[in-house]
Every structure is written in C-alpha cells, then in structure tokens.
Amino acid sequence: MIKDFYDKANRGSLHKNSHNTPIELFFEPQEDPIIESADKVRIFEVLSNLIDNAIKFSSGETIVISTTKLQNNDNKINHIKDKDLKDGERDIAEKKDQLVLTAIKDKGEGIDTEIMPRIFNKFVTKSDQGTGLGLYIAKNIVEAHDGQIWAQNNKNEKGATFSFSLPLNK
C-alpha cells in the first residue's frame, strides 16, 4: 500500500506544489506485525484519505507513517466529548486492553487555526482540491470501529499529524 501512495505522490498528481520534487513516504514498522480485526476496505479508505491529504499539503517534504500497539492503562473507559450528543460524552473504547495507534505526519503548512475546531465536519476545507468530505468520512469509519481520530499541528516544527486509534481485538 505504501508503495502505491509513493508512486502516486511522485507522479505529481496530488501535491499542490508540484515541482517534480519527489515526496518521500517513510513507514516506521514495528518489530512484530500487528493484526487488527477490522473492515479492511474501510480502514484502507481512512489511510488513503489521510495519506492523500498529507501528500497534498506536504510541499514536497517527507511524510512519516507509523503504527504502534499501546496498552490501555488500567483497563479504563475512555471518554470523548461530543457536542452533538445529548449527554455531552460517550464511551468509545470501553474496557479494551490494547489499542493500535496509526499516525501520518507531514511537514507541510499545518492546519489552519480557522478550521481546526471543525476539521472533521462535512465540507470543511481550505484546499481548492476536494470537497471537504474525506476527513468526515474517515472519522465516521474510525468511530464505527470503536476508535478515535484526531489532528494536531506539529510542535516545534512545521506540518500536522493525523492520528487514529482502534481497539485491538484478540
């Protein structure tokens, strides 16, 4: 999959500062393979969207993709705030022992502060390419797998990191 994105990125069709500068996609694999029980097609759609966006906004810089297995401390229930729900929060990783964290980090322009609070809503974009639906769809897919997705601008360097976690089913 990474090779497909690498080939696509270096054809110049995705990144907006197309100077025929090759984009390097770097995958940081773990020593042991991680096997996740999830809808392969849908998770590929999430990865595809996040990597496409990283390529589009990377300005020809390296993109780092990493996957890590994490232990959920003390088997606690994780809560997230959701203003659309009546009670204001919901349980999303109820009593899961382990999580798989995937992160896509670019060194592009970062996320505009104006859209950051709405980044996963429908039709939110600062790009002249795309509809602003990709991150909304990615969020729905991740949440349908009892996971979480978030974005942040990188600290002490340019660019942004989009991450998502999924419960690791045994």
Kindly report, residue by residue over 24-39, the tens digit of the pLDDT: 787 877 777 777 788 8
The pLDDT, as a whole number, for residue 18 is: 47
The pLDDT, as a whole number, for residue 105 is 95
Q: Where are the domains of the chain?
A: 2-167
Residue 66: the pLDDT is 92
User: Which ranges of the chain have pLDDT less than 50?
Assistant: 13, 15, 17-19, 75, 77-95
Pick the CATH number of 2-167 from 3.40.50.2300, 3.30.565.10, 2.40.170.20, 3.40.50.800: 3.30.565.10
What is the rounded (10 degree) CA torsion for 25, 30, 31, 36? -120
The pTM of this model reads 0.75
**What pLDDT sits at residue 151?**
97
**CA-based end-to-end distance of the chain:** 24
